[in-house]
Every structure is written in C-alpha cells, then in structure tokens.
Amino acid sequence: MSLRTRLNLLIAVLTLASLLVGLWIIVHNARMAVEAELTSASDLTVQLLKASLDTLESTNDGPVGHQDLLDRIAGLGAHRHIRLELFEGSTPPPATAAAAPRKPNTPGWFASAVKPPVSSFYRTVPLTLDERTWVVVNAEPADEITEAWKGSRGLLAVLVGFAVVANVLVHLSLGRALRPLRQILSGLDRLEHGEYASRLPRFSVPEFDSVSNQFNRLSSALEQSRESNRRLNRRILEIQEAERRHLARELHDEMGQCLTAIRAEAVAISRATAGHDEKLRESAEAISQTAGQVYGMTQTMIRRLHPAALDELGLALGLRQMVIEWAERQPALYCHCDIPDDLGTIEPDLAIHLYRVVQECLTNVARHAQASSVEVHVRRRRGIIGLRIADNGRGFDTEQAAGGFGLLGIRERIAGLGGQLEVKSLTDGGTAVTLVVPDNTESVIETAELERLLADKKWLFPEPKMRPGNPRRRDGTEEAPSGAQPHGGHS
C-alpha cells in the first residue's frame, strides 16, 4: 500500500470519526429538545384538563351530566401535539396500549434515533364522575421530530459536505505533494540499471529538494567512479595486451632465431656424419625434429599471445581464421561462422578485445559445453558492434559460474569498452553469450540504450540455425545443421 493511500485512509478515518461524533451530538440534542417539548405539552394538558373538569363540576348551572362530560372530552379529539382518548376500565391503561403515533416526515433512522420513550409523554387522568373511565393524554412526537429534522439537516449537510471536500482536497494535496516521490523512485530505478547520467529536478518542497540535491551528487559521483573504473580497466587491458605483444615479438625474434639455428646446425651435423657415424646422425636428426616441434609450439604461443592476422587482415578475417583453426582442432563440433566482410575499420584496441572474447568463449565451449554445434555472429550497425556466441551444449548455472575467471575476464573487457554483456544458459538448452559495445573506444552510449539493444536482438542477430540435437549420419557422426558450414565456414 502506497504512502499516499495510507495517508488518505488515515484522514478518511479521522474525518469519519469526527462526522460520527458531530452526528451523535446533533441527534442527542434534537432528542432532548423533542422529549422536553412533549413532556411539557403533556404535563400542561393534564393540568388544564384537571382544571377544566373541576370547573365543569362546580359550575353555577349545576353538575354536568355524565354523558355530556364524555361527549365534551371526546369532542376535543387530536390536536397538533396532543391526542385525547377515553378508556374504560378499573385501572388506567399502560403506555404500551397507546395507539401508534403518526410517522414524521423525516428519514427513518433520524426518527428512530430522536423519538423519546412513550412513558415520557404518556399521561392518564381519572374522571371523578366515573371511576371506570379514564382520559388518556398522549403527545404526538411526529411534528416535533419533523421540526428537529428541519433544524438539523442543514448542519448535517454542512458536516457531510465538509468531510467530502476535506478528503478530496487532502487527496489532491497529497498527490501534488508526493509527486516528487515518483520522480525520485524513477531516478533510483535508473541508477539501479546503471544510468548514472540521470539527474533529478529541483522541488518546491524543501525536504524533497534536499533529497534531489543528494541524489544528483550521488549520480555524479557514481558516473565519475564508473568512468574512472572504465579508464583503469581499459588501461590495464592495454598494458596486458602490450605485454603480450612484446612477449610474442621476443619469442618470434629471439627464440625463433635460436630454434632455427639449432635446426640448421642439427641438419649440418646429420649431413656431415652421413655414412660415417650413424648413431651421431640419428641424434642430429632427433635434435632437428625436436627443434621443429618446439618451433611449431612457439608459433602457436605467439599467435595466442598476439594474433598477427588481426593486424594484417583486420577483425573480420582474423576472427574467421581463428574460428577455422579452432574448428579444425574440434572435429566433433560443427561451427556456423557468420562474420560479414563489411565490418569496416575497427580500432586495434577494440578489435583485440573482441578477438579475446570470442577466443575465451570458444575455449569454454570446447572444455565444458559438450556441444555438437556452435555459432559465431558478428554485426556492426548504427555505431554498435554486436557479438554472439551460442552452443547447444549442456549449459550451466550462470549464478554459480559468475565468479569464474573466464566470465569475469570477459565482463571486465566489456565494462572497459563501455558495453553490455548478457549470458543466458539453461541446464538442458545450451548457452548464448551476447554483447554490444560502441564501435569507437571514445564513444559513450547510455547504459539504458545498450540494454535495450541487448534485449532486442532481432535487429542485430538472425535467428539461430542450430538445433539442440543434431541428426547423425550412418557412420555415427552428427550432420551439420541446415545452412551451417563445418570448420569455420560462413554463410
């Protein structure tokens, strides 16, 4: 339940309680007034009736006849506030025997609440001429209740109107006063999603304005911190790649020359001892073969440390060559390579990072995925480079593997490039690693925009062409998915 709703409910409850208290006071006062009026009228009628009876009995014309007296009393009948009735009996009638009073012209609830008890306005007077005849004096409360309602309904209307208007005004005032909360919550949500450039406006309420100032300072600090971390990350990776490049050059220049010299010396010894010392010649040939193997291993290490094809051919051809070489080492896997030639010029620092990401993902597929098919897609559109590597292997729990060095290294690279990474994996549905980065290391694209592009992959990547289970040929090997080319071919 929102704060606005809670405050509205609290105000409504307090207003309703005040309204009920005011209603009780109005009804109580009206009841007291009606009861006092009816009691006074009943008592006054009894006194007048007794005085009239005494006067009639002592008139100068002689005593009034019994029937004549009854006729005179019956002729009085009912008046506005008083109703006179005759009752025959040895004892006076109880109040419960009185006739039902007229219904007042008021709401039923008001009449029931205001009407006093019958005993307060019910009177009996015995006739002295006949002890078996009683005059019943019964007050009529209908008119008094109607008058009380006419006097009270205006005040009731004012109370109800005030309660309704007060609640409406409170509701509107709270809505306007708490409107900044929605903006603050929206700003916090943007911060949660990495939009550190978001700012809050100034507010008229001092408390909210103070929150806005603190929020803006926090956003600015987070933005500066993220930019510093990004620059530091990028610098660390640049130093790392520079060190790898230097090591690859040293291996190529120094160790390569030494191994070449060793092979040349071994070959010379082998030729010089041919036909003279077979044992020495065989040893020289073994040295030459071992030096050749070490040289091949060195060349592989050099390519892994710094792929020369990336500098010579560019990202598209460099990636394609790397995928082909990887696929040749994994004969059981079919690789669908979708890397267009029109990627354009890409900065060397950005190209090497994307190359490393693909290299790490393919290494993880070979080691852990137990997949039969893998896809590599690269796209460049609207200032964004998108990359996607997907397999149909066994998958893994992304939460548990989040701290692994492979994924952690990929995340650090993408964060240093100002991009976004998404890793989706199901234990029975394979794994897909998708990332988007600006195509220029100096470009800054809002996190929200990158997340939107990452969520809407259709504009960047085609539908996957592989299936979770690929059919097998008769010889037991799996068939390539439709449209895929094995060993790094692209379609």
Strand order in the sheet with 82-88: 82-88, 130-139, 122-127
Which structural domains are found in the chain, ordered by start? 3-176 (no CATH), 312-491 (3.30.565.10)
What does the pLDDT read at residue 488?
39
pLDDT digits (tens, 9 = 90+) for 174-192: 777 778 888 888 888 888 8
What's the average model confidence in pLDDT over 324-330? 88
Say yes or no to pLDDT of 373 above 60: yes
Joined tokens for residue 121: 């306005």
pLDDT digits (tens, 9 = 90+) for 51-93: 766 666 565 454 444 555 556 555 555 555 666 666 666 666 6
d(CA 414, CA 358): 12
What does the pLDDT read at residue 87?
67
Say yes or no to pLDDT of 482 above 50: no
Q: How confident is the model at residue 471 (pLDDT cuts 50, 70, 90)?
A: very low
Query: Range with the lowest mean pLDDT among 180-194, 212-226, 474-488?
Result: 474-488
Say yes or no to pLDDT of 469 above 80: no
Q: How confident is the model at residue 490 (pLDDT cuts 50, 70, 90)?
A: very low
pTM for the predicted model, two decimal places: 0.54
Exposure letters 90-126 (e unless 16+ CB within 10 A, then b)? eeeeebeebeebeebebeeebbebbbbebeebbbbbe
